[in-house]
Every structure is written in C-alpha cells, then in structure tokens.
Structure 1
Amino acid sequence: MKIIDSHIHFDQYDGRGQEQILADMEKVQVESLLTVSMDLESSIINDQLSRKDSRIKPAFGFHPEQPLPSEQEMMELLNWMQAHQHNMVAVGEIGLPFYLRQENQAIELAGYIKILDRLLAFAKEIDKPVILHAVYEDAPIVCDLLEKHDIRKAHFHWFKGDGQTIARMIRNGYRISITPDVCYEREIRDLVSLYPLELMMVETDGPWEFEGEFKGKSTHPGMIHEGVRHIASIKGLPVDQVYETLYRNTKDFYEI
C-alpha cells in the first residue's frame, strides 16, 4: 500500500518536523515527497534537501499567494531554475493568487498572469510538468494558458472549481491531487466522485493543518492513508486497486 505525497511544502517544516517525517516514511509506506517551492530561496532549500535524501523530489517555482517579484528577482529565479533543471521534477508551485485577492480586492491579476505565462513557457521549453495553484474562477484562465502553450502535463493541486472547468480539465487530461480533507469536506468528496481515478493523485500540502479527525495534529504524509480509504469508498472500488492506481499515476506523471 505504498503512497507518494504529490504536494508538500517540506522546506516549511522546522528541522525536527523534517527529521520526524523522514524517519517515519518507511513505516507509513510513503515512498517519496514531491516538495514544492515558494520562491528562489525556497527552491534553493528544497534543492539542498533533495541532495541529502533522494526520497525528496523537488519542484522549483514562484507561489502566487504573495507579492509579485521584481523583474530582477524573476530573472534570478528563472536563471537558477535553468541551471538546476536536471534536479527538478517539475515547475511549481505556480498559479494565480485567488486567496490573496479575497483579502485585498485592489490586487490586480494582470501581473500574476504575466508571471505565470513566463513560467509556463519555461516549463514547456525544458519539458517539465507544472504544479498549479488555480481554484474557482482562476482555473479557466490557467486552462487558457496551458492550452496556449500546449502543456498537457499539468497537476492542479487541491483543486476547487465549477463543473464546466472540471469537464475541461478531464478532456485535457490534467491531473488533480486530493488532500486528507476528502475525509470530511463535501466539495472535495464531490470532486472525487466526478474526476477519473486515472487522473488523480494524493497530497498533504503540509504543513497546512486539517480539520475533522486531524484537527490539532501536525500534518504528516501518513495522513494520506485515511484519504485513500475515503477515495476508494466514494469510487466504490477495492482499496488495494485505488492505492496501486494513485501510486502508479504519480510515478508515471513525474517519472520518478
């Protein structure tokens, strides 16, 4: 019953938290961690962590839920990613700032779309998958950009959106990943019922903390197992079949 955490901010755990997760991985049958980056500093840290432990598979990028980088900062990030592309499994986390705009309606989207467009063009150039933060009304904009660049290897993490966008994503073969909130969140359970298992992965987005049975607990990749059981129940499929499909989906998508 092996699993892969397809989206975790491993660099955001403190040293003790990182050590505990790495020590537990074999016991809880977690084979690998796809650790996503926030910016250049985060990318450098994840690169270093991956060189110490090969089970850490790093993605480099710029997370959109923060102020825009300057042109110099953006060029430094792209140049560094170009130089370190052979240790990078994907470009990510990238996308659009939905939640930031809920807090500040004055934030303009145009600059973030421009940054995302550049990062997608870069991913296409170096032939790497992309890990996307794109929910609700932002998702169709991101789908437009993916189609513009003819990018098929797109992974929408913790996705939320309308039925029309979900159908479009399925037609294009885009992947989604499901967090442990599938155990208690109706919106995510409905998404699981609609989306093909063959296009699905699982994640924690740790150290983000969850509610329900996980409330008050530090987010750990081992929590994914309970999510897999809920996915199997929603799909009406044997648990071992769901484990194998989710595991193989992630291995094949990221070529790890």
Structure 2
Amino acid sequence: MYGPLIDAHIHFDQYSLPAQARILEELKRFNIDALISVSTNLSSSKKTLDLASQSPHIYAAAGFHPEQALPKEQELSELQQLIFEHQEDLAAIGEVGLPYYLRKENRDIPLEPYIEVLESFIRQAAALRKPLALHAVYEDAAIVCELLEKHSITKAHFHWFKGSKAIIDRLKHNGYFISVTPDLLYKERTEQLVQMYPLTHIMVETDGPWPFEGPFQRNMTHPKMIHETIRKLAAIKKMRIEEVYSQLYENTKRFYL
C-alpha cells in the first residue's frame, strides 16, 4: 500500500509527450498527489506554466538553471517579467542557483555574474513572497546561504543537496529544506545526509528525467520511484513508514502549496 506523496522537484517539461502522458495517467495508481515542476530558462518556464494550466497535479516553478551559459539581459528581463505576471500561477521561483559542475569543467568561468543573476531572483522571491527551489551544492551552498540571509529568506529548498557537515549545520540552523532522490538507495553520502537532517525539513524528489543507477538502472525516471526512497528513509530514521509518509507530505505541502 502506497502512502500519498509529492515529487518536490521534477523537470516535467523535459519529458517526451508520451512519457508525460504516462506519468499523469499513473499518478492516481501510485498515490502521487502533485509534481513540483521546475524550469531551466525562459522557454522552459513558459512550457511549465502551460503544463500546469492543463493539470491540477502540476505546480509550476519558473527560473534559470545555473549549469549553463548566462542568460542574455533580454531573456533575464523577460523571465522575471513572466514571473511577476504569473506570480499567482507559480508555486515557486526555481530552479536557480550557482554553476558548481559547470565550473568544475571550466575553471575559467567567472562566478560573480552568476551570483548577480541569482541575487536578482532572490530579491524577486522576497518581493513576491515566493519559495526558492535552489541548485547549490558543496561550497556554493555557503555563498547562497549568505545571499538568503542578506535578504531574510526563510523559504529555501536546496534540492538534491550535497555538502560538508558545517554547511549542513548552517542549513539546519536557518530552517532551510533539503530533498533527496532515489540515489538514497545506493549512495552512502545521501544516507549520511538523511541521518543528520531532521525529518521535519526533508522532502523527496526525482529530479526527473535525470536517470538513476542501482535498482533503477535503465528505467525511465518516474515519481513512483519515490516510494522506494521513502521506505529507505524510514529504515534509516527507524520510524514507522506511515509516519514518514505523513511528515514528508506535510513538509512539501506546507512549503510549496
């Protein structure tokens, strides 16, 4: 028997049309109440808003994913205007953050312009009182924390988070949320994070269509995988699975919906 769940971070617009249809058709079967569908740029944000208008189970977030070349000034302006005009239709601003992996590939990429873009989204989130869906891992998370603290942001979600104990403690102290993916079933690092973080501030996600390994290898990433994540999470926390389902659901509902 499946408890109810919400996929707290999925790139639904990146799935093929047949895959989108399959997932939506199977939501009820797998007791999936909602998908928090994040965006990667202006075009993606428009698609995500359109998808959300077609299904009561899709909740849109609009933003600019940092692991790509910086947006042109015109695109950034249009994206932030879109967010302003559709603020009532948006569950959050995201995915936004800093380009950790892009800079690992190319050390010559300057960080400061990305910080400026991120801060512009943080200011907009503060003005519109919208939650932030964040891509900020390892040492980048400390920079993002400074910006969030500067603008008194309390509703921050660090998706698929990875980082040191010091930054984990800082996130906990600030009351920020993290989320974990199905890699909890085969990544020791993710298991250690779950052990350290309070269940009251954890969500679960797929980051689909990103593929997973272990028991999910060669399978299309589907929100139903989260049920396996929750079983593992309950075992790590040594809690009744019904309690874990309930807490995770309430966490995500309170944060986004």
Other structure's SS at 2:158 match? strand
Quote how far apart the aligned CAs of 1:54 are.
Answer: 1.1
Letter of the aligned partner of 1:43 in structure 2?
S
Q: Residue 227 of structure 2 corresponds to which residue in structure 1? A: 225
Equivalents in 2 of 1:156, 1:241: separation in Å?
23
Deviations 1:28-81 (A, max 9, x none): 010000000001100000000011101000000010000001111111111111
Equivalents in 1 of 2:152, 2:61: separation in Å?
20
Equivalents in 1 of 2:111, 2:9: separation in Å?
25
Runs (4+) of structure 1 exceeding 4 A deviation are: none
Q: Residue 253 of structure 1 corresponds to which residue in structure 2? A: 255
Identity rate of aligned residues, in percent? 51
Q: Residue 69 of structure 1 corresponds to which residue in structure 2? A: 71
Quote how far apart the aligned CAs of 1:167 are.
Answer: 0.3
Q: Tell me which of 125, 128, 131 is aligned to 1:129.
A: 131
Alignment of 1:86-125 (within 5 A): 86-125=88-127
What are structure 2's unaligned runs of at least 5 residues? none
Equivalents in 2 of 1:233, 1:80: separation in Å?
43
Other structure's SS at 2:179 match? strand
Letter of the aligned partner of 2:61 in structure 1?
A
Quote how far apart the aligned CAs of 1:208 are.
Answer: 0.2
Q: What is the root-mean-square deviation in Å for CA atoms of aligned residues? A: 0.5
Instruction: Give the alignment's TM-score, normalised by structure 1.
Output: 0.99
Q: Residue 11 of structure 1 corresponds to which residue in structure 2? A: 13
Q: Residue 241 of structure 1 corresponds to which residue in structure 2? A: 243
Q: Residue 58 of structure 1 corresponds to which residue in structure 2? A: 60
Equivalents in 1 of 2:97, 2:76: separation in Å?
15
Equivalents in 2 of 1:214, 1:73: separation in Å?
37
Equivalents in 1 of 2:28, 2:145: separation in Å?
37
Other structure's SS at 2:93 match? strand
Q: Residue 38 of structure 1 corresponds to which residue in structure 2? A: 40
Equivalents in 1 of 2:169, 2:201: separation in Å?
12
Letter of the aligned partner of 1:154 in structure 2?
A
Q: Residue 204 of structure 1 corresponds to which residue in structure 2? A: 206
Tell me the matched-pair count: 255
Letter of the aligned partner of 1:220 in structure 2?
H
Instruction: Give the alignment's TM-score, normalised by structure 2.
Output: 0.99
Equivalents in 1 of 2:64, 2:165: separation in Å?
28
Letter of the aligned partner of 2:119 in structure 1?
D
Equivalents in 1 of 2:177, 2:224: separation in Å?
21
Q: Residue 169 of structure 1 corresponds to which residue in structure 2? A: 171
What are structure 1's unaligned runs of at least 5 residues? none
Match status 1:49 vs 2:51: yes
Q: Residue 196 of structure 2 corresponds to which residue in structure 1? A: 194
Q: Residue 183 of structure 1 corresponds to which residue in structure 2? A: 185
